[in-house]
Amino acid sequence: MISVGARLPEFSFNRIVNGEMTHSHTNELFNDKRVVLFAVPGAFTPTCSAAHLPGFVALADKIKAKGVDEIICLSVNDAFVMDAWSKANNAEEIVMISDGNGEFAKKIGLDMDTDNFGGIRSLRYSMLVDDGKVVKFNLEDPGRFETSDAQTMLESL
């Protein structure tokens, strides 16, 4: 499992930019930047939609005022679902990236198998990444939402 001090592995994420499918690589998203990355088990799911994403939307300006260049949300959903979820939540300040088959979650050891609920998903977490290196890491126990929220991240910056 990835931990504080580790570098994020090279990976190509799908995302929608100006209505078009694009591919953004880890080095493009995280190198030479201070980034808050948070991951959710699934777009449009209850806790993710009611609390996790909305918290980062509400606190985006305050988080960025602490020297954060980007806030990125990752989920094991396709890029079109992530784009629709962004629009449904007025999340223009959040970069939405897709880990479509959970490969990135597996690479960093933060995947979980939800069986017939949705298959491979990401665990819920937040991290501060500075120039591609993890400097803060808040991992939730399955079924919990206590430490990966926007307020906890803001207070730790």
4 belongs to a structural domain? no
Q: Write down the pLDDT at residue 22.
A: 96
Tokens standing for 127? Answer: 């991290």
- 113 pLDDT exceeds 90? no
- 112 pLDDT exceeds 90? no
Whether pTM exceeds 0.85: yes
Closest CA to 144 of 121, 124, 114: 124
Q: How many CA atoms lie within 13 A of 102 on its CB side?
A: 17
110 belongs to a structural domain? yes
* pLDDT tens column, 126-135: 999 999 999 9
Q: What value does the mean pLDDT take over residues 23-28?
A: 96
Q: What is the Cα gyration radius of the chain?
A: 14
What's the CATH number where 143 sits?
A: 3.40.30.10
> Which active-site residues does the annotation give?
48
Encoded amino acid at 57, one letter: V
121 belongs to a structural domain? yes
Name the band, by pLDDT with cuts 50, 70 and 90, for residue 64: very high
Distance CA 141, CA 97 (A): 22
151 belongs to a structural domain? yes
Q: What value does the mean pLDDT take over residues 61-66?
A: 98
Beta strands in 43-118 (DSSP E): 70-75, 95-98, 111-113
127 belongs to a structural domain? yes
Residue range of the domain that includes 78: 12-156
Number of domains in the chain: 1
For the CA atoms of 76, 144, 61, 94, the dihedral, rounded to the nearest 10 degrees, stands at 10
5 belongs to a structural domain? no
* pLDDT tens column, 38-50: 999 989 988 999 9
Encoded amino acid at 6, one letter: A
7 belongs to a structural domain? no
Q: Write down the pLDDT at residue 38.
A: 98
Lowest mean pLDDT among 12-26, 84-98, 107-121, 125-139: 107-121
3 belongs to a structural domain? no
